[in-house]
Chains A and B, each alone.
Chain A
Amino acid sequence: MSSTALDTAKKRMRFLLILSLAALLAIAGRLFWVQGINASTVADAAQADRQREEVIAPTRGSIVDRNGTLLAVSVDRYDLVIDQRDQRDQFRRAKRDGTNGSEFIGWDQAVKELAQILDQDPAELATSVQPQDGAKPKGYVVLAKGVTPEVKNEVMEVGIPRLSPLLRSERQYPQGVIAGPLLGFVRNSEDQTSVVGAEGLELSQEKHLKGTEGSRKIEVSADGVRIPVTEVEETPAVNGQDVMLTIDSDVNYVAQREAEKKQKQFNAQWVSVVVQEVKTGKILAIGDSAQLDPNDPGATDPEFRRSVSITRAFEPGSTGKAAIFAAAIDQGAVTPKTELRVPNKYTVTKETINDSLPHDTFDMTAAGVFARSYNTGTVMVGNKLTKKQRYDYMRKFGLGSPIYLGLNGASAGQLAKPENWDRRQQYTTMFGQGYSQTVLHTASIFQTLANGGERIAPSLIEGYKNDDGSVTEPDPSKTSRVVKKETAKEMLKIMEGVVESGTGTKMKIPGYRVGGKTGTGQAASDKGYDGYSYSFAGVAPLDDPQYVVVATMYRPQGSWKNFSVADTFTEVMSHVLNTYNVPPSSTKSEAYDVFVGKEQKKPW
């Protein structure tokens, strides 16, 4: 070997050495970079790549009545979805008779079994399971919606490949139509995985019912399978609060049944029954004649998907006299024994007020005017107050402003300002015409009178039950004094007169002292007054008033002489009194005389 060749070899070796060293240095540098300087970033990237975050859906709270009966509850349901693509003629599955081993079955057999489980027509089902007539197979065909877990399990046993169940939460109303318009209903959320409130309490209590989503972070391997030994970071979901209502579903059932019966009897537009607790203002029942099954709200006429007792304002008629009499007594303008000469027709400032039936001119007490519900006498009583005074009392009784129970669409009714009352309206407002209110307003007025003159705003929500079982109270109902205690006491006495010897003699309930006021109002439409509303608002037992029941029938058809909501009232009221073991009245009637003098039985 010559020296030059040796030099070249040496040079090459040196070059290779340098190259290797450089490569080594690069690798070492990179290693240092990855492991030393940039370690956390890379680790994070790897972590992020492995990590999957799952949303844990909270369970929507239930709605229960005052006894804990479930009115609305969320349950797990499955949608069965099949992918029609890449299906073979036959498939293999575990034998269904419980023995070990597997078998091959064809589509005909599978569809037959599936149809039996799903209770569908096999021929129809076959069209969704497999593409028809060489059509392009679809990737997503829904075979059944909202099936129960048992059905889903059975379907999965059939073993059809690419048939998958999709879990979703479904809202159910186990009691069916009970309190339907109050509960409202739900709609699917935008992503179709859960439900949100669409109407009624479901809508207004959404923020309580909904709950808070939780999340679970897990690590998955490259094939998407969860790595079991990795840490799980879990924020549990907070389930929605259960909304506890003041409703008693049994009483509500009776109210609904009686309302429906009455509606059928006279083919009325609607009938509504409201039951309210006197001492607390809590609503015990709201029964509408039109039934809404929240499981299938579409089956009900849109007009009746909300309770008419809060959405429909109408001219109350004679039940409206209660507020005027209370105002007059409270102001000391009259006493129940104030004597009045009551004619059949009474003309004041050129407006003639008529009574519905012609009668002789009577010498009556103010209580008697109320009992016989004479408009003429009422105008005499009401005229002792100024327009402003009457208006103020009506407002204090809650008229003219909506009663918010947690139900949307609550009507305020119409109550014009006294300065805007026209010449006739200033008198008609005394006997319940010329302004409008809902059935709930009526109930609230009588609750006020029965509760010693103190109005407690009606409420429908008893409380919210948290996930841990504790109960959150809602904001307390507003209470306000409307009339003096003595006034309220007098009002109960003159209301007793209505049932004892006035227009409400059919409203008697054996064993209990009942007071109330009947009301026949003219119902207006575009064409003027062309219908009637019939109401009775009653309180029992009078020695210690517990419950108010208001029954209202709107626009009945047929012979008006039979129109009455008496049996509706007595049926519901006696049921309530029985249910809550209210002791029968032990005191004597305190009703006032209707007429001046000894003779009390005079023709109508």
Chain B
Amino acid sequence: MTQRAQRRVTKTAAMTAQTVVDGSAARAVRPEPVAASELPELDSRQRVTLSLVPRINETNKRSMLVMVIALVVVAFSVIVTLVLMNTSVAQRQYDIVSLRNQERVLSQENQALLKEAQSLSAPQALAKKAKALGLVAPGAPGLVDLNDNSITKSADKAVEAEGNSANYATLPLPGQSIREKAKADTKKSESKAPVPTVGNASKDDAKPATDSADSKNSTKSVVKDETATRKIADDGRPVFKDSELNGGTIPAPMIKSPTN
């Protein structure tokens, strides 16, 4: 009992004697519970050094520094990686855009080339080229009977270019306007309108439109000639050909869709 009372007193004394603060760190002031039998000497002058963390020696200090540097490096590399990834993603996006554009350009080029190839291989274009090369349509083919090795029909000779009935270059080529042709046709139909005086006009209209360039030029020149050499009658009015006047009638308006 006395001991106990004494102990309490000592404790209070120890507590007050002990500094609660060590530098900036707060100390755990509560002493370890001590078994009664092992009670230290009360009057012991030497104090027990209490510490929360073990004392840092030199080697520990160095490893701490390494640790910090490593952490900084890791943090830095993470940031750098993120930035790099971000930029590369952005870069890829731009790449995609430029590749898309490239794809568009290439597909457009492809389109143009394909179209050109198709136009050049259009039947009427080939026919024109064949004609220019002097090729003519074949005659009827010969026939051989394989059963008895006899010629059942000999081949016909192809007709020479001049006399060949097949005039191949009649249809307008791809890309060539059929307006020129249409113009020529309307001129023709005008001249063939049911008018008593049609005979004189058919001469200059009856030019065959074999070569596109030729017909273009000829129609142009014909038109020019007409305007240039239009005569003025005595009464001051221009003189028109009968064909131009369409027999004095105005052609009826076209019905847009005469069918159904």
Contacts and interface: CB of A to CB of B under 8 A. Distances in A.
Interface of A: 69-70, 73, 75-76, 148-150, 172-178, 228-229, 249-250, 253-254, 256-257, 260-261, 267, 291, 293, 295-296, 299-303, 306, 311-312, 409-411, 509-511, 557, 567, 571, 574, 578, 584, 586
Given A76-B108, A175-B118, A175-B122, A260 B90 contact: no
In the A-B complex, the 5 residue pairs with the closest CB atoms: A176-B174, A253-B123, A174-B118, A228-B93, A311-B259
14 contacts: A76-B107, A148-B112, A175-B122, A176-B119, A176-B124, A176-B173, A177-B171, A253-B171, A260-B171, A261-B167, A296-B177, A411-B260, A511-B140, A584-B143
Contacts of A228: 89-90, 93-94
Nearest to B182: A299
B175 interface: yes
Given A229-B89, A256-B171, A296-B179, A312 B109 contact: no
B65 interface: no
B141 A409 contact: no
Interface size class of B (residues with CB under 8 A): 35 or more
A249 B171 CA distance: 13
Contact of B177 (A172, A250, A299): A299
Given A70-B114, A299-B178, A578-B141, A311 B256 contact: no
B115 interface: yes
Contact of A295 (B107, B114, B175): B175
Given A175-B118, A250-B123, A75 B255 contact: no
B156 interface: yes
A148 B152 CA distance: 56
Contact of B108 (A149, A173, A301, A302): A149
Contact of A149 (B105, B122, B177): B105
Most buried by B among A228, A557, A574: A228
A309 to B, nearest CB: 12
B108 to A, nearest CB: 4
B165 interface: yes
Interface in B151-187: 152-153, 156, 165-168, 170-179, 181-182
Given A229-B89, A267-B192, A510 B153 contact: yes
A175 B118 CA distance: 7
Given A261-B170, A571-B166, A511 B124 contact: no
B172 A311 contact: no
Contacts of A149: 105, 108-109, 112
A177 B173 CA distance: 8
Given A249-B123, A311-B260, A173 B171 contact: no
A52 to B, nearest CB: 15
A174 B173 CA distance: 10
Contacts, number: 141
A395 B115 CA distance: 45
Contacts of A69: 118, 121
Nearest to B140: A510
B111 A76 contact: yes
A176 B176 CA distance: 8
Contact of B168 (A73, A257, A291, A410): A257
B186 to A, nearest CB: 9
B153 A257 contact: no
B204 interface: no
Interface of B: 86, 89-90, 93-94, 104-105, 107-109, 111-112, 114-115, 118-119, 121-124, 127, 140-141, 143, 145, 152-153, 156, 165-168, 170-179, 181-182, 192, 254-260
Given A76-B108, A567-B165, A176 B90 contact: no
B112 A300 contact: no
Nearest to A578: B141
Contacts of B140: 509-511, 574
Contact of B124 (A178, A306, A410): A178
B243 to A, nearest CB: 15
A412 to B, nearest CB: 9
B254 A302 contact: yes
Nearest to B90: A228
B153 A173 contact: no
A73 B121 CA distance: 15
A417 B165 CA distance: 46
A50 to B, nearest CB: 15
A509 B28 CA distance: 123
A92 to B, nearest CB: 24
B108 A257 contact: no
Contacts of B192: 267, 557
Nearest to A256: B171
B191 to A, nearest CB: 11
A260 B170 contact: yes
A174 B119 contact: yes
Given A257-B168, A409-B260, 14 more contacts: A69-B118, A148-B108, A176-B119, A176-B173, A177-B124, A250-B123, A296-B177, A300-B178, A303-B257, A303-B258, A311-B259, A510-B140, A574-B140, A584-B143
Contact of B115 (A172, A300, A578, A586): A172
Looking at A299, A411, A509, the one whose CB has the most chain B CB atoms below 10 A away is: A299
A70 B118 contact: yes
Contacts of A411: 259-260
Nearest to B145: A586
Contacts of B167: 261
A385 B25 CA distance: 128
A73 B111 contact: yes
A174 B115 contact: yes
B183 to A, nearest CB: 9
A578 B134 CA distance: 22
A480 to B, nearest CB: 25
